[in-house]
Structure 1
Amino acid sequence: MKRLIFVSLIVVLFVSSCVKDSDTEAEAPKVDILLPFACDTVYFGEEFTFRLKLTDKNALGNLSMDVHNNFNHHSHGDNVTCQMDERKEAIHPYSNAWIHSLPKQREYIFEKILTFPKETEENNIHDHGDYHFHIYVTNEDGYQVFTTLDIKVLHRDDFD
């Protein structure tokens, strides 16, 4: 019986020593949001720059992002909390999504000029207020990181 326990321990130690430790957090890419800043205001119909610094220990893969309303104050993690408008029902909210292949580099500054249209395709004015971006970056190895950015999107005409 002692011999069986001893052999079992040896097998367990041998097998566990062969298993490669993997720290997925260390293998996921890193995202630094450069523009816009958390809680910034952008305006429907006006261009603004969306800029990220992306880094990975091996090579970057893809970037996907979307923007949608946050009129009900939902949350997607531990991002910066902004001063929000009162909760409201979405009538004609703006939303959009983008997917980009990234160069197979360790570091890359992603920059995109965006303009959120003032109106829907049916000529309805988009709802202003609290919005946020979902940002997903995947590296060449398939590891992914997710972060969010809260912003305010307003109509300049309403505030001049």
Structure 2
Amino acid sequence: MKRNTIYSIMLLCALSACSGSDDEEQKDMQQPVISEQGITANPIDCQQYHRGDVIPFHYVMTDDQELGAYNIEIHNNFDHHTHSTTATECPMDAQKDPKNPWVYNRDFSIPSGQRTYDARHDIQIPTDIDPGDYHFMIRLTDRAGWQQLHAVAIKIVE
């Protein structure tokens, strides 16, 4: 009898030690995704815009647990540097020194609890900037801090 009680207690302890709680929050180990699926994404590589135009930004952002925020940055690529996020190669103007380059940098929040977000913004291109090659950068961060970068090569013309 004593032996059965001891075995029962040992079995109960072993089962308790091995069991996990379904309520425990799983660690987010995946970076978020900037997607073109199911939409007409904009901008895409090699698109051209005129000074004074509007860039109608549209991408879908997803995460396996929860999205955080995103940033859009636009900067010149007059020196032909790369961010290597796509294999597309666009025709480029000759290298040049910037005189009045366009610099755009803005953070956007995503409402709490979202795993999918349809991001849309109209971005006005200034009329007095240097025309030429630019990078349109999207940085998406999820709530856990993982980040996805998507760089698009665009051209601003007269």
TM class by smaller structure: 0.7 to 0.9
Matched AA of 2:156: V
Larger radius of gyration: 2
Equivalence for 2:49:
42
Q: Does the 8 Å CA contact 2:28/2:65 hold for their aligned counterparts? A: no
* TM-score normalised by length of structure 2: 0.75
Cα deviation, 1:28-66, whole Å, max 9, x if unaligned, reads 000025102211011111222011110100111000121
Aligned to 1:153, what secondary structure does the other structure show? Answer: strand
1:32 pairs with 2:35: yes
Equivalence for 2:154:
151
* TM-score normalised by length of structure 1: 0.74
Aligned to 2:90, what secondary structure does the other structure show? Answer: coil
Equivalence for 2:89:
81
| Number of aligned positions between the proteins | 126
User: What pairs with 1:4-83 in structure 2 (closer than 5 Å)?
Assistant: 24=29, 27-33=30-36, 34-79=41-86, 80-83=88-91
Aligned CA distance change for structure 1 residues 127 and 70 (closer, same or farther; 3 Å):
same
> Structure 1: how far apart are the matches of 2:107 and 2:120?
13
> Structure 2: how far apart are the matches of 1:95 and 1:134?
11
1:134 pairs with 2:137: yes
Identity %: 32
Equivalence for 2:127:
118
Q: CA RMSD in A?
A: 1.6
> Structure 1: how far apart are the matches of 2:50 and 2:105?
18
Unpaired segments ≥5 residues, structure 1: 1-21, 120-125, 156-160
Equivalence for 1:18:
none
Q: Does the 8 Å CA contact 1:77/1:147 hold for their aligned counterparts? A: no
In terms of fraction of residues, the more helix-rich structure is 1
> Structure 2: how far apart are the matches of 1:48 and 1:138?
22
Q: Does the 8 Å CA contact 1:129/1:152 hold for their aligned counterparts? A: yes
> Structure 2: how far apart are the matches of 1:85 and 1:32?
28
Aligned to 1:133, what secondary structure does the other structure show? Answer: strand
Alpha-carbon offset, residue 115 of structure 1: 0.8
